Amino acid sequence: MILKRIGGLIEPLKVICVQNVQCVGAFSYGFEASRSISTTGINLLEIGAESEGHDKKNISKAMKAYLERAREHDEFMKKQREEYQIGKRHLANMMGEDPETFTQGDVDNAIEYLFPSGLFEKKARPFMKPPEEVFPQRKAAEFDETGRPHHFLFYTGRPNFYQVLHDTVQHINDLYKFEDVMISKNLRPDKNLELDLSGYQWISKTDLEAKLVERIGDKDYDSLINALERLCNLPYSYKAKDFILQFKKPLMNQIQNFDVPKPKYDSEGRAYITTYECRRKAAKGDVTVRTPGTGKITINGQGITYFQDVQSREQLLFPLIFTNMQNKVDIECNVADGGYSGQAGAIRWGIAWGLRSFVDQETIEKMRLAGLLTKDVRTRERKKPGQQGARRKFTWKKR
């Protein structure tokens, strides 16, 4: 056995000596010889080829079945992707849209329009999604024909999980280096580019397992979340925003951002905001929020005792308690029509809508996530002719 240094690494070279041969051939593991060496009736390269073919013939049946299943799954997913693309193009043509710019949201709207369904369960309604979202994910082939794993972290038992940890640490180290460079140049991070993750939360352990196609424990999940939290707290974390958002999900889709109005001032110098068109069911009214105040609430010239039931009173106080403003503002309400439940809902929305001008942006985001800023437009469904009620039918009797 002879040791030879190749590119900084020491690799063993097998020396094959044959009688009546003037030169000696050296074959190293992992690369082929540059020339063939003929001996008395023996070609050494042919011997190597025969041995390589012999190894292929000795592939176990389990390995062949494993590779065959992986190949069949890849072909199946490829076929499903092609069918999905064809179906999306047909759907775009039916709706008169450009197939190249037809998004998944357009597909969902087209399916709902062309195939309306009254089924309550969304999973029972017709849909068309990419095959990756319909069929459960499976790990790709992890071995080659010789039994060598593709992933360098295969022997950890959870290569995908440790790959995410590895990438997280890599991003942290890169941001540390970038921060050192910026400090050497006397530059500070721009606050306008600061990473804002309000309205997002970390994906659950179940969702993470589905994403990684691996089972992980609670301790491993906590370790990953702690590492990602550390990455988010770095001053230049916005450079790794795309990586971080892979493990975040929005709490609620924010459809529209409303501009917060600036408060006005009365003759006493107190700031106030009046919200009109406060509606709930058949009730409508207006709400004025004044600050500074003592927590006084006036409803149609009366106190909070205007509502006799406790539930309606709690509806009014909830926005004030949620924002910790119950003893800092005064509320004046005028409401008409509807019942006590509708009037309480209208006033609650008006109070929450007016409090936006007196709290910070983070509190406004929490109010939005809690549903305080969403107007409840639900009303009683009317009775239909030929029916006993809005949905109820008369009892049908055959005889």
Looking at 133-137, 246-250, 265-269, 312-316, which range is the least confident one? Answer: 133-137
Same-domain status, 306 and 233? no
Give the rounded distance of the alpha carbon of 308 from its chain centre.
Answer: 45
Kindly state the percentage of the chain with pLDDT values over 70: 79
Same-domain status, 171 and 75? no
**pLDDT > 60? residue 366:** yes
Mean pLDDT in residue range 370-389: 87
**pLDDT > 60? residue 182:** yes
Provide the total of helices (H) and of strands (E) in the chain, helices listed first: 11, 10
In a domain, 148, yes or no: no
Same-domain status, 53 and 65? no
Query: Which pLDDT score is estimated for 141?
Result: 62
Last residue of a domain, one of 57, 80, 103: 57
Mean pLDDT in residue range 20-34: 36
**Interacting residues of 394 by C-beta distance below 8 A, sequence separation 6+:** 387, 388
Higher pLDDT, 241 or 123: 241
Q: Which amino acid is at 148?
A: R
In a domain, 173, yes or no: yes
**pLDDT > 60? residue 259:** yes
Query: Which pLDDT score is estimated for 258?
Result: 56
**Pair of tokens at residue 212:** 């990684």
Residue 150: left if φ>0, alpha if ψ -120 to 50, beta else—which one? Answer: alpha
Same-domain status, 180 and 119? no
CATH number of the domain that residue 364 is part of: 3.30.230.10
**pLDDT > 70? residue 329:** yes
**pLDDT > 80? residue 122:** no
- The DSSP letter of residue 278 is E
Q: What is the mean pLDDT of the chain?
A: 79
Mean pLDDT in residue range 342-364: 89
Q: Which amino acid is at 365?
A: E
Supply the range of the domain harboring residue 119: 61-134
CA distance 71 to 78: 11
Last residue of a domain, one of 192, 215, 250: 250
The strands making up 297-299's β-sheet, listed across from edge to edge, are 264-265, 271-280, 283-291, 330-336, 297-299
Same-domain status, 270 and 360? yes
Mean pLDDT in residue range 365-390: 86
**Pair of tokens at residue 281:** 């069911």
pTM for this model (two decimals): 0.44
In a domain, 141, yes or no: no
In a domain, 140, yes or no: no
In a domain, 146, yes or no: no
Looking at 102-111, 113-122, 322-331, which range is the least confident one? Answer: 113-122
Higher pLDDT, 255 or 398: 398
- Number of C-beta neighbours around residue 343 at 10 A: 28
Higher pLDDT, 254 or 265: 265
Total domains present in the chain: 4
State the pLDDT confidence band at 392, using cuts at 50, 70 and 90. Answer: very high
**Pair of tokens at residue 347:** 């006033």
**pLDDT > 80? residue 97:** yes
Last residue of a domain, one of 202, 223, 250: 250
Mean pLDDT in residue range 181-192: 88
Mean pLDDT in residue range 195-203: 85
Higher pLDDT, 22 or 176: 176
State the pLDDT confidence band at 169, using cuts at 50, 70 and 90. Answer: very high
In a domain, 390, yes or no: no
Same-domain status, 120 and 163? no
State the pLDDT confidence band at 196, using cuts at 50, 70 and 90. Answer: confident
**pLDDT > 60? residue 4:** no
**pLDDT > 70? residue 376:** yes
In a domain, 271, yes or no: yes
Looking at 11-25, 94-108, 218-232, which range is the least confident one? Answer: 11-25
Same-domain status, 300 and 340? yes
- Number of C-beta neighbours around residue 25 at 10 A: 18
Q: Which amino acid is at 49?
A: A
In a domain, 395, yes or no: no
State the pLDDT confidence band at 16, using cuts at 50, 70 and 90. Answer: very low
Which tens digit of pLDDT belongs to each residue from 272-322? 889 888 889 889 999 999 988 888 899 998 888 898 888 988 888 999 999
Which tens digit of pLDDT belongs to each residue from 32-79? 333 333 333 334 334 444 444 444 456 666 667 767 777 888 888 889
